[in-house]
Amino acid sequence: MIRILIVILLTGTAGIEGQTEIIEGSDKLHLRNSIESEPRQDAGLSEAAYKKVYSYTKNTNAFKDFSYEQMKARILNTSSWVPPAELQKSFPYYHAGYDYEKRPVWVAEIGKFDFRDIVAKGDKSIVEAKRYLFQAVLNGIFSIAAMDTEEQEIKDTFVIFDMEGASIKQLNFLPSWVQFAELFGKYWDLVFQLLGRLVIINANYVTKLATDIARPVVGQLMERVEVYGVNRNVWLPRLLKHMPIEAIPSWYGGKKNFKPISIHG
Ligand SMILES: *[C@@H]1O[C@H](CO)[C@@H](O)[C@H](O)[C@H]1NC(C)=O
């Protein structure tokens, strides 16, 4: 799988080598300064939260051999971990609201993430980033669990990736793709259960290329992915089909008084 990826990467980027495109990022989540961040939700996880996580992990290759008690220890370890400040600052993400199916809507400004830097720094940095990612997955599951009722079980999430700022510098770094392929190969069955829909907005040519490179790796998952460019008039109506305006950040066309349910990182 990695070999295929490398070939695609090399052929795919050949034509645009040397070009760099840096789009100046607007301050979206970086209005963090003006929104009070919620305290971390790690203290005192409920049994329901642990059970919810286990209901997914027991069906995965990576975790199928974990007993419930072992999984609980793992969950507690990861969710109570305070990531290094640098990671938190560089990789923020937030729970914006709920869609009409009561699925949590999560937003990450992926275009601003510096994956290259993380990977280039080597093993320690990569291990920490993976732990950070697993913590994000747990936060996602906790947000699903919080919406479960006797009548209705919520099973997955609605994720928005904002690619504004994505540059070729992130794309043409092979070690990042190797990490991505390994990570996805190991945990795809977990992602598959959790990702109900992924809407990618502000996709420039770099993102479109990245999507093409990822396509053979993520396979069937692409059916749940929608990719839109920078034109809000195209993607905002799509979002509004799935969720009330309250779940949409003001900087994407939501109301002025939008406030995320929680901010992480
Ligand atoms: C928690 O996880 C870290 C990183 O995987 C590990 O080094 C540590 O020993 C674990 N702590 C416990 C109490 O299991």
Backbone angles phi, psi at 145, to 5 degrees: -55, -35
Quick: pLDDT tens for 97-127. Answer: 999 999 999 999 999 999 999 999 999 999 9
* Mean pLDDT (whole number) for 39-62: 85
Higher pLDDT, 78 or 32: 78
% of the chain residues with pLDDT over 70: 84
132 or 40, which is more confident: 132
How many Å lie between the centroid of ligand 1 and the Cα of residue 82?
A: 12
Token pair in block for residue 225? 């992915």
* Confidence (pTM): 0.84
Is the predicted pLDDT of residue 137 greater than 60, yes or no? yes
Confidence of residue 43 (pLDDT cuts 50, 70, 90): low
Would you list the domain boundaries of the chain? 2-264
Q: How far is the CA of 83 from the centre of ligand 1 (A)?
A: 13
Residue 206 CA to ligand 1 center (angstroms) comes to 37
- 263 beta partners: 94
Using an 8 Å Cβ cutoff, are 155 and 193 in contact? yes
Per-residue pLDDT at 28: 74
What is the pLDDT averaged over residues 135-146?
96
Domain 2-264 fold: Phosphatidylinositol Transfer Protein Sec14p (3.40.525)
Instruction: State residue 149's pLDDT score.
Output: 93
Secondary structure of the chain in HEC code, one letter for each residue: CHHHHHHHHHHHHHCCCCCCCCCCCCCCHHHHHCCCCCCCCCCCCCHHHHHHHHHHHCCCCCCCCCCHHHHHHHHHHHHHCCCCHHHHHHCCEEEEEECCCCCEEEEECHHHCCHHHHHHCCHHHHHHHHHHHHHHHHHHHHHHHCCCCCCCCCCCEEEEEECCCCCHHHHCCHHHHHHHHHHHHHHHHHHHHHEEEEEEECCCHHHHHHHHHHHHHHHHHHHHEEECCCCHHHHHHHHHHHCCHHHCCHHHCCCCCCCCCEEEC
Least confident of 25-34, 46-55, 69-78: 25-34
Q: What is the Å distance from ligand 1's center to 92 Cα?
A: 23
Distance 69 CA to ligand 1 centre (A): 15
- pLDDT of amino acid 27: 61
Ligand 1 centre distance from Cα of residue 30 (Å): 31
Phi and psi at residue 204, to the nearest 5° = -95, -170
Residue 31: is its pLDDT beyond 80? no
What tens digit of pLDDT does each residue of 174-187 get?
999 999 999 999 99
Q: How far is the CA of 217 from the centre of ligand 1 (A)?
A: 30
Mean pLDDT value of segment 63-87: 95
Task: In whole angstroms, give the CA distance from residue 167 to residue 148.
Answer: 39
Ligand 1 centroid to 134 CA: how many Å? 13
What Cα–Cα distance (Å) separates residue 170 from each residue in 8, 69, 117, 164? 16, 39, 9, 13
pLDDT of residue 105: 98
**Residue 32 confidence (pLDDT) above 80:** no
pLDDT of residue 213: 87
Question: For residue 171, what pLDDT band results from cuts at 50, 70 and 90?
Answer: confident
The pLDDT tens digits of the residues spanning 147-158 come to: 999 999 999 999
More confident residue, 248 or 89: 248
The pLDDT score that the predictor gives to residue 217 is: 84
Whole-number Å distance, alpha carbon 77 to ligand 1 midpoint, is: 6
What's the mean per-residue pLDDT of the chain? 86
